[in-house]
Structure 1
């Protein structure tokens, strides 16, 4: 990946739009808007509102109404839902002794800059490809030159066979400390072998009781049985130069995790995500409901 991630920028836009336009939120990323320039924000907004004919051909309304429909229907469900799921699980993990937070494929994640009081005990590590990581650091530096004292940046490509050396060589990382890892929005773009190797490497690095949270596409994602939103998302990712590569049934995922010494602790299907994470927002915005993305599940797994 030589260029910064397009999908990561669009995810940041969707979190920013949601935070700006709603009082009750699925997930409140209060800093996402500040990471985007005025030109970028307006450019993405314009592209998305003009794309309403692709997402919902039957739509009739203004450009602003079209943008809201595209954001709520297509863009926001995954970035908002998985972030809410991950940070809720992280808080519980900290209560049970986790002291390191490993954010893989961090993109434009802002947790380290808006961390609540309960996170101050954490050492936070952000990992990403150099192009995206460098771009994010440049944007953050323009906002606030003072980096949180418990935040550490590590540029790496975790599809490489020995990526763990970069982490083990980093002075602040302690492999004996219970850790919480997030791997959001990335399993789609990795082959099954690469994902399993990542999990296998992670379980060798961390002690028992450590956990990982991730989202993943189900076994129907690349089939005619996929929902319309999913089919269009697959098309968009390919057009952006970031084609999706793998999908999993629950049983397949369960066996893969067991093979590398992880057990599924919590698992949410789209209906469960909508009911558990989106209810308060949907109750407050009946005219603009958000439903969890079709064919995408969330998983929290713990090392035995």
Structure 2
């Protein structure tokens, strides 16, 4: 299994464990647990627990306590907050008339399985590497989860120069319709130049008024909030929501932390969330 696919699977495991283990989880992803057999879930739990030996060599406690610590402190804060952020933005986009939802790098995410009534009027598109997508759909089949009728899947590598052309030809996506577009984790894995190129390609794919939702690492050698605020408008997108780590913690971890005051959770200190809208070219 590719490293990126393994990381996506660990992320899905963390979300599943979080939703199963805690009251008031940061994101309500009950479907994630069904992607794993009981044996596989236990094996992944044992595997990620070993990480704590490197992260906190002095930790002493039961294997269950170690698993809880490594998930809560290191594995789940970012994907849980990202999922909650995407879901909130998607609900807003559906409410104001978005007709399509496009997930670039969908991973093992289950948002299309958790549609609210307005979302059921949309068409969902998941674009992911062919091997991960095959594995994901096999897991859904094995779990007895029916793929939503309004969801389409396309196996393609985003780094391929013709991914946008293939997507338009094979997916049924309509570039004239207002779209919600999610880029979960893309900025973290793409070289800077490639990330800006993906946004330029999206500008050509997305109708005016379409929403783009992204997260990005901030700091030396990555991106800055000022850079995003300056560059996105140049690429055809107007920034309408931009959250720093403290904002993310306040908005998405408050309910969880109120229920778990002895072990509060916070957003990663170096990741920002952003919502931008496709604007008219000048």
Please give the range of the TM-score, normalised by the shorter of the 2 chains.
over 0.9
Match of 1:288 among 236, 239, 263: 263
1:236-257 superposed Cα distances (whole Å, 9 cap, x missing partner)? xxxxxxxxxxx20112222331
TM-score w.r.t. the length of structure 2 is 0.94
1:32-57 superposed Cα distances (whole Å, 9 cap, x missing partner)? 11112223321221122232232223
For 2:253, the equivalent position in structure 1 comes to 278
Match of 1:254 among 223, 229, 238: 229
CA–CA separation in structure 2 for the residues paired with 1:14 and 1:99: 31
Cα drift, residue 209 of structure 1? 0.6
> Is it true that 1:13 corresponds to 2:17 in the alignment?
no
1:186-265 matches, within 5 Å, as 186-220=186-220, 247-265=222-240
DSSP-derived class of the 2:173 partner: coil
For 1:237, the equivalent position in structure 2 comes to none
CA–CA separation in structure 2 for the residues paired with 1:285 and 1:150: 37
CA–CA separation in structure 1 for the residues paired with 2:74 and 2:147: 33
DSSP-derived class of the 1:169 partner: helix
- Cα 1:126–1:284 shift into 2, 3 Å: same
DSSP-derived class of the 1:42 partner: helix
Which sits farther off after the overlay, 41-50 or 19-28? Answer: 41-50
CA–CA separation in structure 2 for the residues paired with 1:45 and 1:3: 18
CA–CA separation in structure 2 for the residues paired with 1:80 and 1:4: 18
CA–CA separation in structure 1 for the residues paired with 2:242 and 2:165: 31
8 Å contact kept, 1:4–1:131 = no
1:210-230 superposed Cα distances (whole Å, 9 cap, x missing partner)? 01111110023x6xxxxxxxx
TM-score w.r.t. the length of structure 1 is 0.87
- Cα 1:42–1:281 shift into 2, 3 Å: same
CA–CA separation in structure 2 for the residues paired with 1:33 and 1:57: 29
For 1:172, the equivalent position in structure 2 comes to 172
| Aligned length in residues | 279
For 2:33, the equivalent position in structure 1 comes to 33
8 Å contact kept, 1:4–1:132 = no
CA–CA separation in structure 2 for the residues paired with 1:43 and 1:217: 30
DSSP-derived class of the 1:12 partner: helix
State the 4+ residue runs in structure 1 displaced beyond 4 angstroms.
1-4
CA–CA separation in structure 2 for the residues paired with 1:59 and 1:156: 42
Cα drift, residue 16 of structure 1? 0.2
CA–CA separation in structure 2 for the residues paired with 1:20 and 1:145: 18
8 Å contact kept, 2:153–2:171 = no
DSSP-derived class of the 1:177 partner: coil
1:164-222 superposed Cα distances (whole Å, 9 cap, x missing partner)? 112211363111100001111221111111111110011111111101111110023x6
1:35-82 superposed Cα distances (whole Å, 9 cap, x missing partner)? 122233212211222322322234232111111111110000001001
1:262-286 superposed Cα distances (whole Å, 9 cap, x missing partner)? 1211111111111111000000011
For 2:242, the equivalent position in structure 1 comes to 267
CA–CA separation in structure 1 for the residues paired with 2:180 and 2:170: 17
DSSP-derived class of the 2:121 partner: coil
CA–CA separation in structure 2 for the residues paired with 1:113 and 1:91: 14
CA–CA separation in structure 2 for the residues paired with 1:86 and 1:66: 29
What are the ranges of 5 or more consecutive residues in structure 1 without an aligned counterpart? 223-246
